[in-house]
Amino acid sequence: MSLLSTISSLRSDDKYTDLEIRCQGKVFNVHKAIVCKQVEFFAACVDGNFQESQTGVIEMKEDIPEIVDYYTVKTKTPAVETSESTIDLDRSELLLHSYMYTIADKYMVEKLCAIAAQRFKSAIWKAGEKDLHTFTSVLKAVFEGSPEDDRVFKDLCIAFSCEWYRKLGEREDFRNFCRANGDVCLEILDKQSALKELAFKSCAEAAKQSIAPCQKCNPPQFPAFHFGDSQNNVRAPRSTNIFGPPEGLGTRNGTSIFLRTT
Amino acid sequence: MATPSSFEASMPTVPHGESGDFEAMWDILRSALREIHEKNASQLSFEQLYRASYKIVLKKQGDRLYDRVKEFEEQWFGAQVMPTIRKLITNNLVNITVGGLSGTTANERRLTGEEFMKGLKASWEDHITVMNMTTDVLMYMDRVYCADNRKASIFTTAMGLFRDHILRSPLSAVDSNLITFDILNSVILDQIAMERQGDVINKHHIRSCVYMLEGLYETDEEKEEDKLYLTSFEPAFLQASRAFYAQECLALLRDSTASDWLRKTKKRLAEEEARCQTTIANSTKAKITKVVEQEMISKHLSEFLVMEGSGLQAMIENDRYGDLASLYEVISRVDPEKKPLCEAVESRVVALGLQVNKVIEETDFSAAGAEDGEAGEGPAKPAKKNSGAAMTAGALKWVEEVLRLKNKFDRMANDCFNSDPLLEQSITNSFRAFINQFPRCSEYVSLFIDDNLKRGIKGKTEAEVDILLDKATTFIQYIQDKDMFERYYKKHLARRLLQNKSESSEVEKQMISRMKMEMGNAFTSKLEGMFKDLAMSDELTAGYQNYIRNLGDLDRKQIDLNISVLTTNNWPTDSMGGGSAEREENRKSCNWPPEITTLQESFKAFYLKERNGRMLTWLGYQGNADVKMEFPKIPGKSGTRSFLMNCPTYSMLILLLFNDLALDETISFEEIQERTNIPTNDLVKSLYTLSVVPKGKVLNKHPNNKEKPKKGDAFSFNPTFTSKAIKFKAPVISGQISNKVEGEDERKQTEKDNDKSRSIMIDATIVRTMKARQTLSHLDLFTQVIQQLASRFKPDIPMMKKQIESLIEREYMERVDGAETATYRYLA
């Protein structure tokens, strides 16, 4: 058995675990050597002269057990896993990733932040009407659970809200969220007007030059975004970076996002 | 398995009303901080505290949290830490700090100081522990709030607070400008001063405080050069050290010897180095070393060097190699050029060298005086002979003394000065200086080599001979007038070779090859030519004998001929005879008797057969002959008495005259001179050996006395001559054959000859230079010529001027008219 596979096999059972993480009644047995090396928070728990170092138990009172599970699994794994089969959260992928991002940010696990951001990005491209019922929770998690300057998720959520504002507007939970978070609501509004204007301008430009939109330039792996309602099929000219690169975007985890439309 | 709805349910609730929220969170954190400071943290849940600080920051209250923590620390310092420290600052400590004398003993002072440092160190260590824990709790704030707002981390800030509120806190107990830091500096310096006096102190406490100062910075930017250690403590330490060492050095200068000073300085340097390693910081090492070097070494170096009885002079004279080695080490530290040492060694060497010169010169003087009294080169008398030998011995002694001096300083350079090239150069320079101040150095060195090659190397191993040759070679290198040396060497070598006096031709050749290596081909080419000539002559002799045998002309009276054909240029023909060049003409035309003439003609025919066009000149004053003499029976003894005498060529010529005389016939001095045409001087000498010196008295002189032969004397065959050996060597007059110190006249002649050949070389060099450059200023020409001749001798300026005048006269060059500086032009 190689050293790497030995370490890797450690997470398959609770044997030799030496640290207990409790979260809302759930118990996770982990290895200090692995979690503390990856997460400073755990290291501080174990090394600091606090209660946790005496008891060997860390109570994570306000975190979500499933996420903690996922989170501890992640941090227990020496090599970052790429498959998403660990937890079956297909139907609420956006929510999973935003929670994951929140917890990763809280405990300052930058690698996990980056993975969550990556996943969230690809998930929001695929997201559609079926995701609307959890989207308000996503917004809550994103706007309340990450630092103010961290725009990675926020810009993506605003764009998504712009696309679906009519449908979202019909949902009571979304309306309540808007009532409580006027600034987010304002952001959506600003974005929406900016998009309209941009779309109008470029449409006029395209008509003037009689250039037909080029279908080939639409890479199939990137699903097209629809702006405004779906019937009004106005397209922005190709290679316009709608989102930026926006200022402050991705400054914390180093990912920048470019959405390309045709 | 989680469902979306369960997510929503478990979503953390973030209540609004931020300010109230903040206060609630802060309350948790504040009480936790208190517990942490009171070392009761083990009851706190880290997760709860982390979560509290996380939420505050997430709610954009990071700045408030930051400020509250700072405030808390400040209050804690003021209320809890400073009072303890103030209690440790006794009035004594304050008095020492402000410069007043404390009324306590050193021991009490040391103890109170230690208590103070211990207290300060404890509060510092507590602070570090507490702040490490606090930093853990506020980890999210550091990462998010401080990083985004470019604020110093809470740890850094807390360190700054310690600096401002503890170290820079004024001592309220006394109404003065003193701060804790002043006390700390003064305590540490006081302790170090005690250690320098020989007390034992607790280095550990100082080290801890130094660590603290190294962990604190002037500003929260934490720049490396802003460490409090560097900005506050180190300057004070260096200043105090400077004062201490300045005083110590003055005390040493007043009360001690240079040797004590060296010991003390080395000890202090080692102490300071150790102090940097064990008590304060290593980074100070270079600086404090410099201070000690400046104060203990540089400032009063020259005064220590000239110290009566223990300074450099005494060290060298009394062979205090240990002190010298220390001195070298110490000076090397402050002066990479070691100028004072070099100069001192130089002047010592020159002084000692001049002493040697003087002793020899004084001995010489009496000898030379004796010779003058004898009026030049008369026939040798016992007293005279002794003085000549004494002079030669003096010459050898001089060389040996100089070599002894050289050995001493070589050993010193090796043992004490680490074979430092600069010092070796100084030694070489100074040797060169005093050796060249001694006018006869060239002659003496050549004589020394001559003596060794004749006798000195007998029974020595190869290695010993090597050492000897090395010494000789070094010596030659010191000599400036290489041409003079070459002149003497040639003369001495010629005698050695022609008279077979050389102990080993192998060693001779080694010596030549050494000189060749050191001084180049030009120097030795003629010397090598001499060896070549002799080898050639051996072949010629063998060839000639063969030739004679093959002629079959055996009926005539056979004379065996051993011939040395000397190339004029290679051999010092003018000096070999010991006479002057003016008499050359007389010599050449000395009359050869018919027997010899036949022989000469026969050889000439043989020689010129293969070498057409050469001129052979027979040198009567060189060479020797075996003369067979038959004497009448002495009554009572049987058989004819026949002896074989080896004598110089001139003696042979004289003796041949007596073949034609009856036993009792006499021949006058004038007649001998007329018939042989031998120069008067040589004739007198030859007749003296033949008619006066008992061992070879084959002639009778009339009148029969011991005076040297002169005009009017008559000579006859001495039939009663007898000798113990059948074959013997005619006695020689010293000086004629063996190499000895020249007399005043000879010396003058040699100098004159040398000047002549120098003027020729100067001529040649000037012409060569001018030809290459066409026009050249006076100054440039002189520089060039001096440079080119430097390896041979140092040209005399008036002589050069004279040669230039003469070259202009001979139209080799001309003055350029109207040039700003004197300039010459070459004329083809």
Q: What is the DSSP string of B688-751?
A: HHHHTSGGG--EEEES-SSSPP-TT-EEEE-TT---SSSEEE----TTTSS-----HHHHHHHH
pLDDT at A211 over 80: no
Chain B residue numbers touching A58 (CB-CB < 8 A): 46-47
- Say if the Cβ atoms of B12 and A92 lie within 8 Å: no
Quick check: B57 and B144 in contact, CB under 8 A? Answer: yes
Topology agreement, domain B18-226 and domain B241-334? yes
**What separation in angstroms does the CA of B176 have from each of A43, B92, B186?**
47, 15, 16
pLDDT at B18: 53
Whether chain B has a CB inside 8 Å of the CB on A56: the answer is no
Q: What is the ipTM of this complex?
A: 0.72
Chain B residue numbers touching A134 (CB-CB < 8 A): 4, 7-8
Fold (CATH) for B241-334: 5 helical Cullin repeat like (1.20.1310)
Compute the mean pLDDT over every residue in chain B, rounded to the nearest whole number: 79
Whether chain B has a CB inside 8 Å of the CB on A51: the answer is yes
- Say if the Cβ atoms of B136 and A133 lie within 8 Å: no
pLDDT at B259 over 70: yes
Between A9-13, B511-515, B586-590, the lowest mean confidence (pLDDT) is in: B586-590
- Say if the Cβ atoms of A50 and B45 lie within 8 Å: yes
pLDDT at A223 over 60: no
**Number of helices followed by number of strands (H, E) in chain A:** 12, 5
Quick check: B56 and B141 in contact, CB under 8 A? Answer: yes
Whether chain B has a CB inside 8 Å of the CB on A57: the answer is no
Cα–Cα distance, B260 to B805 (Å, whole number): 63
Q: Domain B18-226 is of which CATH architecture?
A: Up-down Bundle (1.20)
Whether chain A has a CB inside 8 Å of the CB on B128: the answer is no
Whether chain A has a CB inside 8 Å of the CB on B11: the answer is yes
- Say if the Cβ atoms of A92 and B60 lie within 8 Å: no
SS3 B626: strand
Cα–Cα distance, B59 to B66 (Å, whole number): 13
pLDDT at B219: 82
- Mean pLDDT of the B293-304 span: 85
Question: What are A95-146's pLDDT values in tens digits?
Answer: 888 888 888 888 888 888 888 888 888 888 877 777 787 888 888 888 888 8
Question: What are B691-745's pLDDT values in tens digits?
Answer: 777 777 777 777 777 777 777 778 877 777 777 777 777 776 654 456 667 777 7
Cα–Cα distance, A173 to A136 (Å, whole number): 7
Whether chain A has a CB inside 8 Å of the CB on B48: the answer is yes
Whether chain B has a CB inside 8 Å of the CB on A182: the answer is no
Of the CA atoms within 13 Å of residue B579, those in its CB half-sphere come to: 19
pLDDT at A76 over 60: no
Amino acid, single-letter form, for residue B535 = A
**DSSP classification of residue B658:** G
Cα–Cα distance, B708 to B689 (Å, whole number): 9
Pure H helices in B17-141 = 18-37, 46-58, 62-76, 82-88, 91-98, 106-137, 139-140
CATH 3.40.50.800 fits B744-826, yes or no: no
- Say if the Cβ atoms of B46 and A51 lie within 8 Å: yes
Question: What are B683-693's pLDDT values in tens digits?
Answer: 777 777 777 77
Closest by CA position to B133, among listed A111, A55, A52: A52
**DSSP classification of residue B630:** E
**What separation in angstroms does the CA of A147 have from each of A102, A111, A135, A252?**
9, 17, 19, 10
**B340 preceded by a cis bond (ω within 30 of 0):** no
Among the partner residues B8, B46, B54, nearest to A50 by beta-carbon distance: B46
pLDDT at B680 over 80: no
pLDDT at A78: 38
- Mean pLDDT of the B111-118 span: 87
- Mean pLDDT of the A57-77 span: 67
Whether chain A has a CB inside 8 Å of the CB on B51: the answer is yes
Whether chain B has a CB inside 8 Å of the CB on A52: the answer is yes
Whether chain B has a CB inside 8 Å of the CB on A147: the answer is yes
Question: What are A147-199's pLDDT values in tens digits?
Answer: 777 787 888 888 888 888 888 888 888 888 888 888 888 888 888 888 888 77
In order, the DSSP letters of B455-520 are IITTT--HHHHHHHHHHHHHHHHH-S-HHHHHHHHHHHHHHHHHTT--S-HHHHHHHHHHHHHHH-
Strongest mean pLDDT among A5-14, B297-306, B375-384: B297-306
Among the partner residues A40, A59, A87, nearest to B139 by beta-carbon distance: A40
- Mean pLDDT of the B86-109 span: 74
CATH 1.20.1310.10 fits B339-525, yes or no: yes
Q: Is the sign of the CA dihedral B485, B488, B494, B495 positive or negative?
A: negative
Which CATH class, in words, describes the domain spanning B624-729?
alpha beta
A226 pLDDT tier (thresholds 50, 70, 90)? very low
Cα–Cα distance, B225 to B232 (Å, whole number): 11
- Mean pLDDT of the B113-119 span: 88
Domain boundaries, chain B: 18-226, 241-334, 339-525, 624-729, 744-826
Between A219-223, B133-137, B155-159, B704-708, the lowest mean confidence (pLDDT) is in: A219-223
- Say if the Cβ atoms of B11 and A149 lie within 8 Å: no
Domain boundaries, chain A: 89-261
Instruction: State the nearest Cα–Cα gap between B133 and chain A, in angstroms.
Output: 6
Among the partner residues B10, B139, B144, nearest to A44 by beta-carbon distance: B139
- Mean pLDDT of the A195-206 span: 76
